[in-house]
Chains A and B, each alone.
Chain A
């Protein structure tokens, strides 16, 4: 049985309090009046010399088109309009920042729990012989899924109801009224449908999590393997449900921040990100618990296997990232390519940096079989992978919400702290609820004696 150390509990609470303060600060400072933004832009322009005017025109292609339409005679009027539109645009971006920051962090920690749940289901459905000693760690991590996913949903809905459509512009009836493209998608992209779908996804995942945990605990004291068999069937069913809902979730919760853009392998891409982050967290948790003496039945062979998964899934993520990028770059169709143009122009460092963090670093660090067995090596690589996948989600959400007004500052870091604290609190609390080693699980013995 695991006992939640007071130190760790205090640490998680401190994280949450600090995070909350920072998030509050972010929201307090993001409401700027029209004049303030105008002033801000003027000072920025002064700082950059004449360069900014060009940049501003550059980042506002639609405005240019608008200005070009009512040319001749109305040029002065159009210019005044363009200025007002530009300031309002920037004002909106500044207001979006704390929303986007908290949404990215909330989604990031939710997806870790969801990735682990998928991994857990795969381990049961494939009857893996190495992983049962890690089942309780996985079950504890998935305890964050229900609160985490509900928080993501609440933020998404709140951004469109309390907030001023700070994440999803398709929630804004004003925008939809002037946008043929979004009107065409309104059958899918509407708030009611969004909430209903989200509740189905969350309900399905949480139901599987609940039922598999129940069977897992029941199997500990069972006389036969009936619980294991039921868990096996539910896991196989869940995996089918999961791959459909995960794909739709990625359209709803992430892709729809850019409602003009679409990509067919996006669901897989998001899945790869959540899967590798989830596996990394399993590795980090196991190493931590083992170092505290709670997992004496976990040895370096288990670590080696988890690290192999981290390695392989990092490459899988890169494969999907590159496939999506290269196909769009190559054909260069305007309606698709704007997605990457905005990322290349305004997000060069995070966009290319994450490829280094998520691909180059893990591939070089984890290629050697001996290194995969060294805990500090796996921890180091794991932290880099997690950072890389945070930036991955950051790159998905931010360009559509704050555009070139991005920065990793107080709102972003505080949001990470807030959800990291909550994550640690929920997960380690769940860890105290059951013994750390499954009993009477059919593959338990094999797993304990697993060696590679």
Chain B
């Protein structure tokens, strides 16, 4: 459930941001989102985000690529038209396998890499001509922004965020 009102707390230092995240989490407030200009090491752990599963998808895509390579070359080189090309044994896949390994390897890597990247784009909703969802352009340069949901506890939250070292606190009404 997305709150209709959120507070944007802006920080200018990643260390202060980290300690702020810990305090806000300790007070059991829900952090909607954090915008940073660069990866802040350990931020995901502090926010309690679940670990990514993208490596697992990549492994499975790699297996798909390997299968594609094997099935393709087995069909073309062994089943469909087993020619004698320079004396290579085209009687069975195994007998000629060393010649196929470079392609098996490359297709495994190709599938694992590209499908993982596409998965990443899909999951993080990124594509060309997408409207940027940046609440404050300064967060791409040198400011850090924490978006906290407000459930009628505006005063408490503002005080808490002030104490954590926020340089700027804005109440935003998200309802359109």
Contact = CB atoms under 8 A, between A and B. Distances in A.
A288 interface: no
A367 B55 CA distance: 10
Interface string B78-119: 000000000100000000001101000000000000000000
B101 A322 contact: yes
Interface string B51-66: 0000100010000000
A325 B87 contact: no
B59 A325 contact: no
Nearest to B98: A326
Contacts of A330: 98-99
A123 to B, nearest CB: 24
Query: A interface, by DSSP: helix, strand, loop or mixed?
Result: helix
Interface in A319-373: 322, 325-326, 329-330, 332, 367, 369
Nearest to A367: B59
A329 B100 CA distance: 12
Interface residues of B, number: 6
Interface string A221-250: 000000000000000000000000000000
Contacts of B99: 326, 330
A330 B55 CA distance: 35
A322 B105 CA distance: 12
A219 B27 CA distance: 49
Contacts of B101: 322, 326
Contacts of A322: 98, 101
Interface in B144-174: none
B59 A329 contact: no
| Highest count of chain A CB atoms <10 Å: which of B55, B87, B98, B101 | B98
Contacts of A332: 87
A85 B83 CA distance: 42
Contacts of A369: 55
A60 B61 CA distance: 48
A367 B62 CA distance: 13
Interface string A290-334: 000000000000000000000000000000001001100110100
A325 B101 CA distance: 12
Contacts of B55: 369
Nearest to A319: B105
Nearest to A332: B87
Nearest to A326: B98
A369 B53 CA distance: 12
B87 A329 contact: no
A194 B56 CA distance: 51
Contacts of B87: 332
A315 to B, nearest CB: 11
B39 to A, nearest CB: 16
Interface in A382-418: none
Nearest to A370: B51
A326 B102 CA distance: 10
A126 B59 CA distance: 31
A325 B87 CA distance: 17
Nearest to A327: B98
A44 to B, nearest CB: 30
A104 B61 CA distance: 41
A369 B58 CA distance: 14
A331 to B, nearest CB: 10
A326 B87 CA distance: 15
A342 B101 CA distance: 22
A332 B87 CA distance: 10
Interface in B38-72: 55, 59
A330 B89 CA distance: 11
A369 B101 CA distance: 26
A326 B59 CA distance: 26
Nearest to A369: B55
B168 to A, nearest CB: 33
Contacts of A367: 59
Interface string A10-28: 0000000000000000000
B116 to A, nearest CB: 14
A330 B101 CA distance: 12
Nearest to A325: B98
Interface in A163-186: none
A367 B112 CA distance: 14
B130 to A, nearest CB: 31
A332 to B, nearest CB: 7
Contacts of A325: 98
Contacts of A329: 98
A330 B98 CA distance: 8
B166 to A, nearest CB: 29
A330 B100 CA distance: 11
B86 to A, nearest CB: 9
B94 to A, nearest CB: 11
B57 to A, nearest CB: 14
A430 B55 CA distance: 42
Nearest to B87: A332
12 contacts: A322-B98, A322-B101, A325-B98, A326-B98, A326-B99, A326-B101, A329-B98, A330-B98, A330-B99, A332-B87, A367-B59, A369-B55
Interface of B: 55, 59, 87, 98-99, 101
Interface of A: 322, 325-326, 329-330, 332, 367, 369
The 4 A-B residue pairs with the shortest CB-CB distance, nearest first, are: A326-B98, A329-B98, A330-B99, A322-B101
Given A329-B98, A330-B99, A332-B87, 9 more contacts: A322-B98, A322-B101, A325-B98, A326-B98, A326-B99, A326-B101, A330-B98, A367-B59, A369-B55
